[in-house]
Structure 1
Amino acid sequence: MMNGTLLSACTAAALLAILGARATVAENIVFPDDAGVVNVKARFAAKGDGVSDDTAAIQAAIDQVRGIPDTLYFPNGTYLVSDSVGIFNGKAHSRDRFLTYQGQSEAGTILKLKDNCPGFSDPAKPKIVLSVYEGQGTGDVMHSYVRNLTVDVGSGNPGAVGLRFMSNNSGAMYHVTIRSSDPEGSGKLGLDLRQGQNGPCLIKHVTVHGFDHGVETGDTFSLVFEHLTLRNQRVAGIVSQSARMTIRGLTSLNSVPAIQLGRHAHLTLLEADLSGGDKDDAAIVSESPKLFLRDIKQSGYGHILKDAAGKLHDAASLDEWHGGKAHALFGGEPKSLRLPIKETPEVPWETDLSKWAKVPWSKAGEDISEALQAAIDQAAEEGKTTLYFPRRTSTYDYPKFTRPVRVHGSINRILGMSNIIDISDPAGVFKGDGPAIFTFEDLKSPAIVVERFFLLGGWKGPREAFMFDNRSRTALVLRNMGIRSKIKKPAKAGECFLEDLPVSGLFIGPGEKCWARQYNPESPEANMVEVDGGQLWILGLKTEGRARHIIARNGARVELLGGVSYQSWDKQPLDPPMFTVVNADASFTFGFYHWKLPFTTIVEETVGTETKALLRKDLADYHLPLYGASGARSR
């Protein structure tokens, strides 16, 4: 049975969010010569002149550094190719992973297929232009990134697939355009997410122009999209048979359906503007009941939604709608919490390389404790903005440090350059009530970004330590990295933003606010997330392990929009509630994919002295369409 409410207009807040969907950040992504990026022009003689064939040079670069978390850097230019490039026939647990494809700018770095290229002419035999990973199904193609570039399949290539992307646990696409230059938009598929066991990963600020299908997915753990633009597709914008997708900020300019879902698909969609449709079509066509839709508007289509029961919903906009039964253990009509949504702060990329400060190191295992703090102090004294850990390319060499670090002054970005940085605690400094590993104080920037570490803390770092403690008024942005510890100390105020983090141990204190996008905690025992009086908004949560996923208490406000609990681990002795809510406000829409040891209790809620439980057996299709708790407001 379908439940929901169709309203005549989106809320004003949602409209404003949609209008501001695409970030307007001038791109000029450059690095110092010693940062450790692999420049395809300097190292592999790619020309990027739009005339020379760069296929062999680009493939040689990929083959040289695959399996090592290096960054392939493409300076501005048009890199002409006449065949597929990337990783094909990949094997699980092999070197066929870990790469970053980094352009200088989305508009200026173009990987372009030759027009009328042999091998790309047959839509029945599609062929990929750029493949991040194609091959054996696996869940460990981690740390894949594509940033700041355009893939153009040229003209006269109807069998072309623009970009095949896959990543697990951590991995993302940022500021990428995939387009067809054909006058008719010819091309089979723009963004190919069909590789089995894809995700979790984040796809943000991506545009697909042309093709039969803009985006197509296979079976996935979790795909999180934010600010996705689709234009001029010929058959459908998004096609998904069985993926678990969470999308915020979808703009579709199409005469064909914007979204087509198969019966096993799972979609959480909010803030979508679907325009240009045909009066005989529905904007969203779904054979699956596992939908949560909020703040959707359409123009041109005859219907906004055709649901799994075949019912046509006619309206120009939709306020909030979900398939299946919503739950509220303490009464009232369940609604999503609608916490205020803030965009992740964008700190401008530093293009003046004299303002970059290097953390020097020269050999594997070197203790850089003194050098790291000295580099920070000198950077603050000289007004430098970017602190970077240079990478030794084509190696797994990495340094370590053993003491707490104080970050202060003018620094607004810390770049790991995809390094593993080992952190050891021989003196037990970080235990108990000890200091965090990084403490931020007296920062001058409105935000500080810490990003691009393959693993911060190393494989044997102090698990019970807190990695960060933000004592400044600066917003803290953590993204695109693994962390071998608890994320941050809880605070009484402040804002933090998490993106693409495969880390457990998130603690939010009273008065603190946090926005998380593609968050992937995993734990067999320790609680994954605890919110004590603070506020947490999550866009796409993927979990592993039968530990409590979220605890909200003491007036906390928590909103979870989309994702999946994936259980595949043996011998887990615990069977706690998945979500625990104690005198707090919360809303959850969430999916489950349990091979082994499923949770017995999905939600346990306490208001005052009374406790009630929502059990797994009470859910249809093993899916939580919506749960609403208002324990804080009830007291």
Structure 2
Amino acid sequence: MKAITKPCWPNVFLEWPQHNRTHEAMQYIPCLSVLVLLAIPGAARADIFPADAGFLNVKDFGAQGNGRTDDTAAFLEAIAASGEDTGTTFWQDKIVYVPNGTYLVSSPLVKRYQTGKFGSGLLLLGESQTGTIIRLPDHAAGYGDPQHPQAVVFTTSKLHDGTATSGGKDYNGLGEGNDAYMNFVENLTIDVGSGNSGAIALDYLANNIGAVRNVTLRAQSGSGAVGLSMTRKWPGPALIQNVTVQGFATGIATAQTEYGLTLEHIRLYDQTTAALQNSQNALAIRDIEIRAPSPTVINAGDKSFMAFDDVRPGNAPDVGSFMRNDGRAIFRGLTLSGGKIDGILAGRSQWTAASPPDWRIPLADFPEAGNLPLSTWVSPGRFGATGAADQDATDALRSAMATGAPVLYLPHGTYTIRDAVEIPSSLRRIVGMNSTIKVLAKRLPTFSRGSGMMRILSGGESLSIERLAFDNSNMGDQLAIEAAGNRDVAIRDVVSAGVTLLDRKAGGGRVFLEDVCCGKILTAGPAPLFARQLDTEGGGVRIANSGSPLSVLGLKTEGINTIVDNSSGALTDIFGGLVYMVRDGADASVPAFRNNGASLSASFAEESLRSGSRYAIYVGRGSGDARPPVAVTDFPERGFGRFVPGLKD
């Protein structure tokens, strides 16, 4: 056997996202919470994680994966067993693992609770993108009508608050809503076969945190309506990363005016109607290759916003030859047959050349730890921690880290600490298994609120912190992760509830944020901070940047806040996203950004459901910056909000 890393991947919260109350009032980057043992010649069956990690294997529920047996019932049983409704602590579902094989399914794979209601938290992780295949039989019943398409995999929202029809959604019929937390589909292929012109490979809905990663969606010629559909109310924020769509009438379809989606490393081949179709949502897209008949991109509706960084639409001679645009689109690195250009497209034909700032910070890839065999993993369970919320796990966590093991895994559960836990330089990965870190009510008096629950104080090789929740809801201020040591740190698929997510000190190393929600961020010093699909929600200043290079692909905010306070020579570049004030009665003096002796570039869409819940100033100043503020009236309206393509300050 050999081990390899696999890509992955509220007042209950102090800053509970407003849209969770009601809608109206309301080469790729690997990510890695999975270490899989791949079979080699003569080896036994592949398996994942240590045996006590707390995951579900579809084969333990009767799935055969032989390409002949209908495995639908086994999948549905495993998915149902992954977790019931846990209310506001929405991150506690178990991973459903699918070993390599071909699994025939004949109806949608969907999560429902024991009550029969739709649920969130469907985490479907395959062993490999090419070896794990979920396949629809040819000419499958219910998949033959493109006017009434049906999905193979169908992720849904739970109903946390409001009614089944709040905001106009159809929760009972379509599983719609904005409580679609922790939906992940990774490391597999969905093949809709032939003769299924009404098939949607993946009908995906996610909110706040969730991803489709390392996925191939495949249809035979003349089969397949949509590869990846994200059109139900309300998709986003979510990360779509390293996805290939082969065939189908439409490759990727998105809709709704909120909440923004981030797409990175996308390949769209041989679609017959549209490679990518967006209706009214805000998309941040990086590295997309399209090989399909024209028009390949449709940006439909006057509220649609698309931000493209490195788009390659075949041999198109100009923008109009591959894109039909009703809203706004900004391009960085659009490769046409005549070369690369940058600019902004308004409507069908209004093109304005516009280049990125000279100081632009290109997104970098995180240096992965490489092959860390399962035999090198250690659990705090070895030192007595059980994952029970009422147990003090501080000493067990420290003892596990002191072994010098490069990987610490936390079996599914809750690990409560009385004091900060320092991460040694020997540790390369912390794999959370959707586990929770909490602070004991009777904490040590010396455990400062500004001290990280996890502290990175020393240098060393790269460290990743994956699939964890830091929860201090209703217990006062707390910092989750303190990064002071000079080492690269990746924070992936992490929830911060009632805490500040990160304080990267001036001496800290590079930080990579990927698919995180929802806390504040503090950063200082010369090392860059890179973010992909960053969701930060609540009031006050969401990101305080003191002197750092900050590059964000796909931002989502919610609440009356200043998104970035940019100071001390900081360089902040935000490319794509959606900002959303939500509540009426905002203080008009609160700017979206504060730029004081620093440089800012931002391209985003502002969502507002009413005239009283939007920004009056986009860029304000501190006392040391004499430049005038940047008014919202400099930008075109998007309903009650505005389009902001190419703000530079």
> Taking structure 1 as the reference length, what is the TM-score of the superposition?
0.84
Seen in structure 2, the aligned counterparts of structure 1 residues 461 and 205 have a Cα distance that, compared at 3 Å, is farther
* Matched residue, 1:107: 130
Q: Please give the per-residue CA displacement for 1:475-522, whole angstroms capped at 9, x wherever unaligned.
A: 010111111322233322421011111133211213131011111111
Seen in structure 2, the aligned counterparts of structure 1 residues 115 and 281 have a Cα distance that, compared at 3 Å, is farther
Structure 1: how far apart are the matches of 2:29 and 2:494? 24
Please say if residues 372 and 406 of structure 2, whose CA atoms lie closer than 8 Å, have aligned partners that are also in contact: no
Structure 2: how far apart are the matches of 1:297 and 1:204? 21
Please say if residues 356 and 386 of structure 1, whose CA atoms lie closer than 8 Å, have aligned partners that are also in contact: yes
* Matched residue, 1:251: 289
Structure 1 counterpart of 2:606, from 580, 592, 597? 592
SS in 2 for 1:429: coil
Please say if residues 588 and 616 of structure 2, whose CA atoms lie closer than 8 Å, have aligned partners that are also in contact: no
Seen in structure 2, the aligned counterparts of structure 1 residues 355 and 573 have a Cα distance that, compared at 3 Å, is same
How far apart are residue 121 of structure 1 and its match?
A: 1.5
Give the AA of the match of 2:418.
T
Say whether 1:429 aligns with 2:450: no
Give the AA of the match of 1:145.
F
Structure 2 counterpart of 1:48, from 52, 65, 72? 65
Say whether 1:208 aligns with 2:208: no
The answer for unaligned runs of 5 or more in structure 2 is: 1-26, 38-47, 85-91, 158-173, 348-353
How far apart are residue 344 of structure 1 and its match?
A: 3.3
Structure 1 counterpart of 2:268, from 230, 233, 239? 230
Structure 2 counterpart of 1:502, from 517, 522, 525? 517
Structure 1: how far apart are the matches of 2:456 and 2:504? 14
SS in 2 for 1:521: strand
Alpha-carbon RMSD: 2.8
Structure 1 counterpart of 2:503, from 473, 489, 503? 489
* Matched residue, 2:570: 556
Structure 2: how far apart are the matches of 1:458 and 1:91? 30
Structure 1 counterpart of 2:154, from 131, 146, 152? 131
Give the AA of the match of 1:189.
V
Structure 2 counterpart of 1:85, from 87, 109, 125? 109
How far apart are residue 162 of structure 1 and its match?
A: 0.2
Instruction: Between 615-624 and 246-255, report the one with greater CA deviation.
Output: 615-624
Alignment of 1:265-304 (within 5 A): 265-275=304-314, 282-288=321-327, 290-299=328-337
Give the AA of the match of 1:202.
L
Q: Please give the per-residue CA displacement for 1:100-129, whole angstroms capped at 9, x wherever unaligned.
A: 111111111111111121221221221111
* Matched residue, 2:396: 371
Alignment of 1:437-516 (within 5 A): 437-442=453-458, 444-445=460-461, 447-453=462-468, 455-460=469-474, 462-463=476-477, 465-484=478-497, 485-493=499-507, 494-516=509-531
Seen in structure 2, the aligned counterparts of structure 1 residues 617 and 339 have a Cα distance that, compared at 3 Å, is closer
Please say if residues 23 and 205 of structure 1, whose CA atoms lie closer than 8 Å, have aligned partners that are also in contact: no
Give the AA of the match of 2:336.
Q
Give the AA of the match of 1:620.
P
SS in 2 for 1:168: coil
Please say if residues 50 and 80 of structure 1, whose CA atoms lie closer than 8 Å, have aligned partners that are also in contact: yes
Please say if residues 154 and 203 of structure 2, whose CA atoms lie closer than 8 Å, have aligned partners that are also in contact: yes
Please say if residues 604 and 611 of structure 1, whose CA atoms lie closer than 8 Å, have aligned partners that are also in contact: no
* Matched residue, 1:414: 430
Structure 1 counterpart of 2:410, from 376, 383, 389? 389
Seen in structure 2, the aligned counterparts of structure 1 residues 451 and 36 have a Cα distance that, compared at 3 Å, is same
How far apart are residue 367 of structure 1 and its match?
A: 1.0
> Taking structure 2 as the reference length, what is the TM-score of the superposition?
0.82
Say whether 1:626 aligns with 2:646: yes
How far apart are residue 586 of structure 1 and its match?
A: 1.2
Say whether 1:344 aligns with 2:401: no
Instruction: Between 230-239 and 278-287, report the one with greater CA deviation.
Output: 278-287
Instruction: Between 590-599 and 534-543, report the one with greater CA deviation.
Output: 590-599
The answer for unaligned runs of 5 or more in structure 1 is: 1-19, 300-314, 325-332, 393-397, 630-635
Structure 2 counterpart of 1:148, from 187, 198, 206? 187
SS in 2 for 1:610: coil
SS in 2 for 1:57: helix
Please say if residues 364 and 399 of structure 1, whose CA atoms lie closer than 8 Å, have aligned partners that are also in contact: yes
Seen in structure 2, the aligned counterparts of structure 1 residues 167 and 279 have a Cα distance that, compared at 3 Å, is closer
- Aligned-residue sequence identity (percent) comes to 26
How far apart are residue 293 of structure 1 and its match?
A: 0.9
* Matched residue, 1:61: 78
Seen in structure 2, the aligned counterparts of structure 1 residues 28 and 36 have a Cα distance that, compared at 3 Å, is closer
Seen in structure 2, the aligned counterparts of structure 1 residues 260 and 417 have a Cα distance that, compared at 3 Å, is same
Seen in structure 2, the aligned counterparts of structure 1 residues 91 and 132 have a Cα distance that, compared at 3 Å, is farther
Seen in structure 2, the aligned counterparts of structure 1 residues 185 and 474 have a Cα distance that, compared at 3 Å, is farther
| Count of aligned pairs between the two proteins | 568
Seen in structure 2, the aligned counterparts of structure 1 residues 279 and 435 have a Cα distance that, compared at 3 Å, is closer
Seen in structure 2, the aligned counterparts of structure 1 residues 104 and 123 have a Cα distance that, compared at 3 Å, is same
